[in-house]
């Protein structure tokens, strides 16, 4: 019985050491290029946030699923700039596979 208790006392710390959970790695994408329009930079940030939510929810990458990609909250002439920024921010986060905030 003593041997069993001694062995258990030695194995408990080893057992507990193997119980750590993986920690998400924080990824902060670089800012969009300064040459981009303000609307493209806004789209970039919106795309980054959308990708982080999708990764946290375990969804496959698809920027086109998002209402703000399909119907950007900007005037019609600026929609392509917003979509370009959104798509680039979304892709960068998914390329690094991180969920950090």
Distance of CA 5 to the CA centre of its chain: 46
Q: Tens digits of per-residue pLDDT, 63-76?
A: 999 999 999 999 99
Q: Which two tokens stand for residue 24?
A: 């998400």
Cα–Cα dist 72/83, whole Å:
7
Domain boundaries, the chain: 25-96
Q: What pLDDT does residue 33 have?
A: 87
Q: Tens digits of per-residue pLDDT, 9-39?
A: 666 665 655 556 666 666 677 888 899 999 9
Q: Tokens 């940030």 — which residue?
A: 45
Q: Tens digits of per-residue pLDDT, 80-94?
A: 999 999 999 999 998
Q: What pLDDT does residue 28 have?
A: 76
Q: Say which residues have a Cβ less than 8 Å from residue 91's Cβ, sequence separation at least 6.
A: 47, 51, 61, 63
Nearest to 42 by CA among 81, 99, 98, 95: 81
**Which of the pair, 98 or 44, is modelled with greater confidence?**
44
């Amino acid at each position: 019985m003593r041997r069993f208790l001694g062995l258990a006392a030695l194995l408990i710390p080893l057992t507990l050491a193997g119980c750590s959970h993986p920690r998400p790695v924080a990824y902060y994408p670089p800012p969009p290029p300064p040459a981009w329009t303000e609307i493209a930079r806004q789209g970039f940030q919106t795309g980054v946030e959308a990708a982080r939510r999708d990764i946290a929810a375990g969804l496959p990458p698809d920027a086109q699923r998002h209402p703000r990609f399909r119907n950007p909250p900007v005037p019609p002439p600026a929609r392509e700039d917003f979509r370009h920024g959104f798509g680039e921010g979304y892709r960068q986060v998914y390329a690094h596979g991180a969920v950090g905030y």
